[in-house]
Structure 1
Amino acid sequence: MAKKDNYNDMVINLQEVLKNLEEKELNLEDAMKEYEVGVKLVNKIYKTLNTLEGKLTTIKENVEVEIENGNDN
């Protein structure tokens, strides 16, 4: 089974890509490859954040229901 990308690792990798694009004198082809990697990372990060937001919303809703029902768990 493939290892799921870690959010923090993806952010660190994106920072490295940005640093490469800003500081290195890359030829056009290498710059495009870095840019493509960066776009893919941004998409993965966005999907991860959306998933986490959904989970947090579910947890919040469950807690609110428990509070309304008088459960202290």
Structure 2
Amino acid sequence: MEKYEDLIENLENIVNLMENEELSLEEAMKNYEKGIILCNKLYKMLNEADGKIKILSKSFEVDFLDE
């Protein structure tokens, strides 16, 4: 499974490449596409983590209130 930190690093590398290098239109489009794919994966990971946190928080609230 891909790690969040690795995906962020890959995205940062793409951004740096696009900001600091003169790329052809084709190269820029390929890098842009890779960046969008990485952003989508990162967004999905964050949403999944957010969902787990909400579930755990609700469980803790119920346990805490029952005591």
**Normalised TM-score (structure 1):** 0.89
Query: Structure 1 unaligned runs (5+)?
Result: none
Residue in 1 aligned with 2:47? 50
**Does 2:62 correspond to 1:65?**
yes
Q: Would you tell me which structure has more helix in proportion to its own residues?
A: 2
Query: Structure 2 unaligned runs (5+)?
Result: none
**Does 2:32 correspond to 1:35?**
yes
**Normalised TM-score (structure 2):** 0.97
Which stretches of structure 1, 4 residues or more, deviate above 4 A after TM superposition? none
What is the aligned-residue RMSD (CA, Å)?
0.5
The structure, 1 or 2, with the larger RCO (C-alpha pairs under 8 Å, 6+ apart) is 2
Residue 68 of structure 1 deviates from its aligned partner by: 1.0
